[in-house]
Amino acid sequence: MTRSPRVIVVGAGIGGITTAHVLARRGFDDVTILEKGDEAGGVWHWNTYPGLTCDVPSNLYQFAFAPKPDWERVFATGPQIKRYVNDVIDHLGLRDRLICDAEVVSTVFADDEWTVTLADGRTFVADFVVMATGVLHHPNVPDIPGLDTFGGPVVHSARWDADLRIEGERVAVIGSGSTGVQLVTALQGLASRVLHFTRSPQWVMWAPMDLKQSRLLTAVLTRFPAARSALYRALLSGSGFLADVTTVPSWRRRALQQFARASLAVQVRDRRTRAALTPDYEPMCKRQVLSGGYYRALQSVDADLVDAPIREVTATGITTGDGVHHPLDVIVLATGFRAHDYMRPMDLRGRDGVRIDDVWADGPRAYRLTAIPGFPNLFTVLGPNSPTGSISLQYTAERTAEAIADRLDEFAAGVFDTIEVTEEATDEFLAEANTAMGPTVWATGCDSWYLTPAGDVDLWPYDRRTLTRMLAEHRTDHYRFTRSPMTTHGATR
């Protein structure tokens, strides 16, 4: 018996495009990608703020199945990555599987099928749904008193307005994560004055973010495709260092942390400024910020660090807790994302009408990155516990998609009609993961976006080998299957 599963992939970012390609490679041709935005690219589509740069080297931050030989920079800019992702979509023939301007508002399971409904009322029916909706997706707009009374523009970094006038303006950047640091570095010199409001400073490790890729390397990679794969594999293997230092306490972790401290000490000589920029937690506890120019920009005559807490926003600027009013023309919110929303606010309902909002009331929980009890024939790619910041996301997405393709093979062969991970297996996985999280740097005492409402670290506490093994291994005792002898799926669709 063979049948062709109907698959909906939600999201056309790194995870969704990887999934669509892997499923195509494995011979599944009834795959539709639904993308809320008007173009593909995920975070690289939504984020267009000045200075946006990826802090992972370009020759690693790419799909293993589509290595690019001619990256312009060692750390690519946002527009360069978005162009690359879209080139890959065209090159791999995925464009006709992609529907943009397709915001999914509900996904409901009934009678062994998923019905996916878009905001404009269109519906799709599928045997499987893959949620590749991303982590850094929903802008976090802070609840600052008076924000809506400000007389000038207020823009979140992930909804940048290309027409926003910066030149000659007094600009506030609120937030000191990767985004705030990149924005301050880019806007200083354009704006008449940049004020960086930092509720809590972050460690900013020096890195040559503007470095160009050498022409020789481009020539070699262009000429010898084998060299591209070899370089990618070497970088992937070398990136094991990051998983090592973040998950295992060692001299290597301490050495890197010392480098973060030295980056501050060497670049900021003024004692008061240095004290104001010194975090009260260990380097790398939050997602490590990299920058080659932030401290220089911040110490320029046309930039100010404002470390007093924000009391309120008025029509003319921001007033801080020390009573100082800072007159402003533009406010930029680099205040991050609601990282644990994942596919929500979508109305996602699984078996017996169970709602994701209820199941995830205390935070997201999934089995081995990809399966949720109560939600048969639904998988997440780069979902809960994904190794954001320690293992290549492209690699993780590809391994996850391969595991999903294995299940689709079984469905196609009639092995089951529905597959659903058990509560017990999920609890067991999460309990072990939480224990393994103990020695990680993320659990050393800081308040980061990695933490769920319940206080769990929503990351991957293991190395890449463990990730590969757990995704490849199919423990049938961890799942419940249904199979109807009268299945209507007997014929090829």
Q: Does 53 bind ligand NAP (CB under 6 A)?
A: yes
The pair phi, psi for residue 294, each rounded to 5°, is -65, -50
- Which residues inside 102-121 make contact with ligand NAP, applying CB under 6 A? none
Q: Does 59 bind ligand NAP (CB under 6 A)?
A: no
Q: Measuring CA to CA, which residue among 471, 404, 469, 460 is closest to residue 19?
A: 404
Please report, in angstroms and rounded to a whole number, the separation of the first and last CA atoms in the chain: 11
Q: Does 308 bind ligand NAP (CB under 6 A)?
A: no
CB atoms closer than 10 angstroms to residue 168: 10
Nearer to ligand NAP, 32 or 385 (CB): 385
Nearer to ligand NAP, 348 or 393 (CB): 393
Say if CB 330 and CB 166 are below 8 A apart: yes
Q: How far is the CB of 84 from ligand NAP (least distance, A)?
A: 14
Order of strands, edge to edge, in the sheet holding 113-118? 123-126, 113-118, 104-110, 347-349
Q: Does 459 bind ligand NAP (CB under 6 A)?
A: no
Q: How far is the CB of 293 from ligand NAP (least distance, A)?
A: 13
Q: Exactly one of 142, 145, 345, 490 binds ligand NAP (CB under 6 A); which one? A: 142
Give the Å distances, CA to CA, from 282 to 66, 110, 248, 249: 37, 48, 14, 12
The pair phi, psi for residue 215, each rounded to 5°, is -65, -35
Q: Exactly one of 9, 129, 144, 231 binds ligand NAP (CB under 6 A); which one? A: 144
Nearer to ligand NAP, 277 or 372 (CB): 277
Query: Mask of contacts with ligand NAP, 408-447, x by CB under 6 A?
Result: ---------------------------------------x
How many angstroms separate the most distant Cα atoms in the chain?
77
Of 50-58, 62-70, 230-238, 245-253, which segment contacts ligand NAP by CB under 6 A?
50-58
Order of strands, edge to edge, in the sheet holding 378-380? 98-99, 31-34, 7-10, 128-131, 378-380
Q: Which residue is nearest to ligand NAP (CB)?
A: 177
Q: How far is the CB of 447 from ligand NAP (least distance, A)?
A: 6
CA–CA distance, 40 with 95 (Å, rounded to integer): 10
The pair phi, psi for residue 66, each rounded to 5°, is -145, 60
Q: Does 84 bind ligand NAP (CB under 6 A)?
A: no
Q: Does 55 bind ligand NAP (CB under 6 A)?
A: yes
Q: How far is the CB of 174 from ligand NAP (least distance, A)?
A: 5
Say if CB 419 and CB 481 are below 8 A apart: yes
- Which residues inside 359-398 make contact with ligand NAP, applying CB under 6 A? none
Q: How far is the CB of 326 from ligand NAP (least distance, A)?
A: 14
Query: Mask of contacts with ligand NAP, 187-206, x by CB under 6 A?
Result: ------------xx------
DSSP 133: -
Query: Mask of contacts with ligand NAP, 264-303, x by CB under 6 A?
Result: -----------------------x----------------
Nearer to ligand NAP, 136 or 195 (CB): 136
Q: How far is the CB of 157 from ligand NAP (least distance, A)?
A: 6
Q: What angle do CA 335, 341, 345 make, to 5 degrees?
A: 110
Alpha-carbon Rg of the chain, whole angstroms? 23
Q: Does 76 bind ligand NAP (CB under 6 A)?
A: no
CA–CA distance, 193 with 377 (Å, rounded to integer): 53
Q: Measuring CA to CA, which residue among 402, 401, 361, 357 is closest to residue 383?
A: 401
Q: Exactly one of 59, 178, 213, 263 binds ligand NAP (CB under 6 A); which one? A: 178
Say if CB 370 and CB 471 are below 8 A apart: yes
Of 53-61, 63-71, 459-467, 479-487, which segment contacts ligand NAP by CB under 6 A?
53-61
Q: How far is the CB of 318 from ligand NAP (least distance, A)?
A: 10
398: left (phi > 0), else alpha (psi -120 to 50), else beta?
alpha
CA–CA distance, 127 with 110 (Å, rounded to integer): 11
Q: Does 312 bind ligand NAP (CB under 6 A)?
A: no
Q: Does 176 bind ligand NAP (CB under 6 A)?
A: yes
Of 95-103, 296-304, 332-340, 460-468, which segment contacts ligand NAP by CB under 6 A?
332-340
Nearer to ligand NAP, 163 or 280 (CB): 280
Q: Does 334 bind ligand NAP (CB under 6 A)?
A: yes
Q: Does 175 bind ligand NAP (CB under 6 A)?
A: yes
Burial 280-316 (b: 16+ CB within 10 A, else e): ebbbbbbbbbbbbbbbebbbeeebbbbbbebbebbee
* Contacting residues toward ligand NAP, per CB under 6 A: 53-55, 136, 142, 144, 174-180, 182, 199-200, 287, 310, 334-336, 447, 449
